[in-house]
Structure 1
Amino acid sequence: MDFVRKVANSNILASIIDIPESLRNKKVEILIFPYENEHGEASTDQKPKRARGSLEKYKNKGLRALEDGAWAKAAVDKHENS
Protein backbone atom coordinates (compact mmCIF):
# COMPACT_ATOMS: atom_id res chain seq x y z
CA MET A 1 0.00 0.00 0.00
CA ASP A 2 1.35 3.43 -0.93
CA PHE A 3 1.31 6.24 1.61
CA VAL A 4 2.88 9.64 2.24
CA ARG A 5 4.67 10.72 5.42
CA LYS A 6 5.77 14.30 6.05
CA VAL A 7 6.77 16.46 9.01
CA ALA A 8 5.57 20.06 8.75
CA ASN A 9 4.36 23.02 10.78
CA SER A 10 0.71 22.61 11.73
CA ASN A 11 -0.08 26.14 10.52
CA ILE A 12 -0.15 24.93 6.91
CA LEU A 13 -3.04 22.60 7.78
CA ALA A 14 -5.17 25.16 9.64
CA SER A 15 -7.15 26.18 6.53
CA ILE A 16 -7.79 22.53 5.57
CA ILE A 17 -8.70 20.73 8.80
CA ASP A 18 -9.53 21.69 12.39
CA ILE A 19 -6.35 21.65 14.47
CA PRO A 20 -6.65 21.30 18.27
CA GLU A 21 -5.14 24.17 20.28
CA SER A 22 -2.52 21.83 21.74
CA LEU A 23 -1.10 21.14 18.25
CA ARG A 24 -1.12 24.67 16.82
CA ASN A 25 2.22 26.30 15.97
CA LYS A 26 4.06 22.99 16.37
CA LYS A 27 5.70 20.53 14.04
CA VAL A 28 3.39 17.62 13.32
CA GLU A 29 3.68 14.38 11.40
CA ILE A 30 1.29 14.06 8.47
CA LEU A 31 0.37 10.57 7.25
CA ILE A 32 -1.75 10.08 4.13
CA PHE A 33 -3.25 6.68 3.38
CA PRO A 34 -5.72 5.71 0.66
CA TYR A 35 -9.30 5.58 1.86
CA GLU A 36 -10.94 2.20 1.49
CA ASN A 37 -14.66 2.33 2.17
CA GLU A 38 -15.85 -1.22 2.74
CA HIS A 39 -19.53 -0.32 2.71
CA GLY A 40 -19.49 1.67 -0.54
CA GLU A 41 -21.12 4.70 1.09
CA ALA A 42 -19.71 8.19 1.08
CA SER A 43 -19.55 9.89 4.45
CA THR A 44 -21.77 12.99 4.48
CA ASP A 45 -21.10 13.98 8.08
CA GLN A 46 -18.88 16.92 7.19
CA LYS A 47 -19.08 19.54 4.51
CA PRO A 48 -15.93 19.34 2.35
CA LYS A 49 -13.57 22.31 2.67
CA ARG A 50 -12.76 24.27 -0.45
CA ALA A 51 -9.48 25.84 -1.51
CA ARG A 52 -11.29 28.79 -3.07
CA GLY A 53 -10.07 32.07 -1.61
CA SER A 54 -7.15 30.53 0.27
CA LEU A 55 -4.67 32.80 -1.58
CA GLU A 56 -6.75 35.94 -1.01
CA LYS A 57 -4.18 37.39 1.40
CA TYR A 58 -1.58 37.52 -1.40
CA LYS A 59 -3.76 39.53 -3.80
CA ASN A 60 -2.22 42.82 -4.94
CA LYS A 61 -4.79 45.03 -6.71
CA GLY A 62 -2.06 47.45 -7.78
CA LEU A 63 -0.52 44.82 -10.06
CA ARG A 64 -3.82 43.86 -11.69
CA ALA A 65 -3.49 46.53 -14.39
CA LEU A 66 -0.10 45.09 -15.40
CA GLU A 67 -1.57 41.65 -16.13
CA ASP A 68 -2.89 42.60 -19.57
CA GLY A 69 -0.09 42.03 -22.05
CA ALA A 70 2.38 40.77 -19.41
CA TRP A 71 3.12 37.54 -21.27
CA ALA A 72 3.64 39.33 -24.60
CA LYS A 73 5.99 41.84 -22.97
CA ALA A 74 7.99 39.06 -21.27
CA ALA A 75 8.31 37.17 -24.58
CA VAL A 76 9.55 40.32 -26.34
CA ASP A 77 12.03 41.07 -23.53
CA LYS A 78 13.38 37.52 -23.63
CA HIS A 79 13.63 37.07 -27.41
CA GLU A 80 14.13 40.55 -28.85
CA ASN A 81 17.90 40.02 -29.33
CA SER A 82 17.66 36.48 -30.76
Structure 2
Amino acid sequence: MDFVRVIKHSNDLEKFIDIPEGLKNRKVEIIILPYTDQEDIEQGKKKSLRGALSKYKNEFLQNQESDAWSKNVVDKYENR
Protein backbone atom coordinates (compact mmCIF):
# COMPACT_ATOMS: atom_id res chain seq x y z
CA MET A 1 0.00 0.00 0.00
CA ASP A 2 1.35 3.41 -0.94
CA PHE A 3 1.42 6.13 1.67
CA VAL A 4 3.16 9.42 2.42
CA ARG A 5 4.68 10.39 5.78
CA VAL A 6 5.98 13.94 6.23
CA ILE A 7 7.04 16.11 9.17
CA LYS A 8 5.86 19.72 8.72
CA HIS A 9 5.32 22.82 10.80
CA SER A 10 1.62 23.13 11.61
CA ASN A 11 1.56 26.78 10.48
CA ASP A 12 2.06 25.52 6.90
CA LEU A 13 -1.15 23.50 7.15
CA GLU A 14 -3.50 26.17 8.50
CA LYS A 15 -4.56 27.15 4.97
CA PHE A 16 -5.84 23.63 4.27
CA ILE A 17 -7.13 22.11 7.50
CA ASP A 18 -8.30 23.26 10.92
CA ILE A 19 -5.46 22.81 13.38
CA PRO A 20 -6.40 22.22 17.06
CA GLU A 21 -4.94 24.74 19.50
CA GLY A 22 -2.70 22.10 21.07
CA LEU A 23 -0.95 21.50 17.74
CA LYS A 24 -0.50 25.09 16.56
CA ASN A 25 3.08 26.40 16.23
CA ARG A 26 4.54 22.91 16.47
CA LYS A 27 6.02 20.32 14.18
CA VAL A 28 3.47 17.66 13.28
CA GLU A 29 3.58 14.36 11.48
CA ILE A 30 1.33 14.04 8.44
CA ILE A 31 0.39 10.60 7.19
CA ILE A 32 -1.55 10.28 3.94
CA LEU A 33 -3.23 6.94 3.25
CA PRO A 34 -5.52 5.97 0.39
CA TYR A 35 -9.17 6.32 1.34
CA THR A 36 -11.26 3.18 1.32
CA ASP A 37 -14.96 3.50 1.93
CA GLN A 38 -15.85 0.81 4.48
CA GLU A 39 -19.31 0.50 2.95
CA ASP A 40 -17.82 -0.40 -0.44
CA ILE A 41 -15.61 -3.04 1.16
CA GLU A 42 -18.52 -4.61 3.04
CA GLN A 43 -20.75 -4.67 -0.04
CA GLY A 44 -18.04 -6.42 -2.02
CA LYS A 45 -17.64 -9.09 0.64
CA LYS A 46 -21.31 -9.77 1.28
CA LYS A 47 -22.57 -12.85 -0.42
CA SER A 48 -25.85 -14.52 0.25
CA LEU A 49 -25.81 -18.03 1.64
CA ARG A 50 -29.52 -18.38 1.14
CA GLY A 51 -30.23 -21.81 -0.30
CA ALA A 52 -26.63 -22.99 0.05
CA LEU A 53 -27.70 -25.99 2.14
CA SER A 54 -30.93 -26.73 0.29
CA LYS A 55 -29.57 -30.04 -0.98
CA TYR A 56 -29.64 -31.31 2.62
CA LYS A 57 -33.27 -30.29 3.18
CA ASN A 58 -35.55 -32.98 4.57
CA GLU A 59 -39.16 -31.83 4.69
CA PHE A 60 -40.20 -34.75 6.89
CA LEU A 61 -37.76 -33.63 9.59
CA GLN A 62 -38.77 -29.98 9.21
CA ASN A 63 -42.27 -30.88 10.36
CA GLN A 64 -40.83 -32.44 13.55
CA GLU A 65 -38.62 -29.47 14.50
CA SER A 66 -41.15 -27.69 16.69
CA ASP A 67 -41.26 -30.41 19.34
CA ALA A 68 -37.84 -32.02 18.82
CA TRP A 69 -36.27 -30.52 21.95
CA SER A 70 -39.04 -31.58 24.31
CA LYS A 71 -39.05 -35.13 22.88
CA ASN A 72 -35.28 -35.37 23.30
CA VAL A 73 -35.47 -34.24 26.93
CA VAL A 74 -38.13 -36.85 27.67
CA ASP A 75 -36.07 -39.58 25.98
CA LYS A 76 -32.92 -38.61 27.84
CA TYR A 77 -34.29 -38.03 31.37
CA GLU A 78 -37.45 -40.16 31.48
CA ASN A 79 -36.01 -42.97 33.59
CA ARG A 80 -33.77 -41.05 35.98
TM-score per shorter chain, which class? 0.3 to 0.5
Q: What TM-score, normalized to structure 1?
A: 0.46
TM-score (norm 2): 0.47
The structure with the greater share of residues assigned to helix is: 2
Task: Look at both structures and tell me which one has the larger radius of gyration over its CA atoms.
Answer: 2
